[in-house]
Amino acid sequence: MSNVLLPRSVRLALWLSTDAPAERIATAVQGSDEPHRLLTRDGTWDLASLIAEVQSSVLTVAALLPVPGDVAAVPRAQDQYHAGTPDPVTAGECLLLGGRERHLIAVPDVQQFGSEWDFGHVVTWHVAQVDEWETAFHGAIGSLAEAESQLRTGLTHATSTIMDLELGMWRPEVKDGIAQLRDARLTDEDLPSITPRRLAALSLAVRLKAIAELALEDTSGGGAVNVWQADQSRAALLEVLRVARRAIAAATYARIER
């Protein structure tokens, strides 16, 4: 059984919804990375500093996985904080924090170093103040119950699309990868103690996302029989990806009560 890694913003959102100590959360989120840095307009800090501040002032937390063409719920950064902050769409992920007096976005800038066989990552979180984001988040992403319903439909579509692609024509490594992802689980290091419902939705959404991404690689590389089939399959898989990304976001939303 293979493991599936969660994006860093998702890991951080899940851990911030717990009452774990700041250092424990930082260790879990950083994993095998170099110690994460936190960059604000006031200077550079370590990740535990952000976590400690969040634990004393933040009321809501969520993660987003935006991509070009699907930027729903990404808040607008206020001009005086925007300079130097990476684009969440380019990064493919961001963390949203909501408090009584201000709302923040944290975007990870991930830089890989080393060789193909021996590498690591340097991560800098860029933090900026944004407009209130919860209203747009709930309108675009929806509730966990809505995400669960869409995931069931997405699973049906993904299964149908994969079967229609005639697996016998796929590259062997793609077939093997999809078979492994069907039974994959989230790594223990990624996860704090969350409700079984959130865990089930998150696990299914992450696996669907990984399967759709792998299948999309093959529809572009000759797995489909003809151009029409490739176009139809790609459209179906992109919709599965959209559903999976939004379900992951819905599973990360939490109102923190301390």
pLDDT in tens, 231-254: 767 777 788 888 889 999 999 999
User: What are the φ and ψ backbone dihedral angles of 96, each rounded to 5 degrees?
Assistant: -115, 135
What is the spatial distance between Cα 6 and Cα 29, in angstroms, rounded to a whole number? Answer: 10
pLDDT at 1: 38
Q: How many CA atoms lie within 13 A of 198 on its CB side?
A: 17
pLDDT at 180: 55
Tokens of 109: 């800038």
pLDDT at 227: 57
The β-bridge relationship of strands 103-114 and 37-40 is unpaired
User: In degrees to the nearest 10, what's the CA dihedral of 192, 197, 201, 203?
Assistant: 40
Weakly modelled stretches of the chain, pLDDT under 70: 1-4, 78-84, 154-155, 157-190, 218-230, 232, 258
pLDDT at 66: 92
What does DSSP assign to residue 68?
T
Q: How many CA atoms lie within 13 A of 127 on its CB side?
A: 22
What is the spatial distance between Cα 116 and Cα 89, in angstroms, rounded to a whole number? Answer: 26
pLDDT at 230: 65
pLDDT at 168: 45
The 10s digit of each residue's pLDDT in 62-93 is 999 998 888 878 887 765 555 667 889 989 99
pLDDT at 165: 56
Q: Is 102 exposed, middle or buried (0-12, 13-18, 19+ CB in 10 A)?
A: middle
Tokens of 183: 């039974």
Q: What is the C-alpha end-to-end distance of the chain, expressed in Å?
A: 37
pLDDT at 181: 55
Q: Is the dihedral of CA 232, 233, 236, 241 positive or negative?
A: negative
10-14 contacts, C-beta under 8 A, 24 or more apart? 10/63, 10/65, 10/93, 10/202, 10/248, 10/252, 11/190, 12/63, 12/95, 12/106, 13/61, 13/62, 13/63, 13/95, 13/96, 13/252, 13/253, 13/254, 14/190, 14/191, 14/192, 14/194, 14/202, 14/252
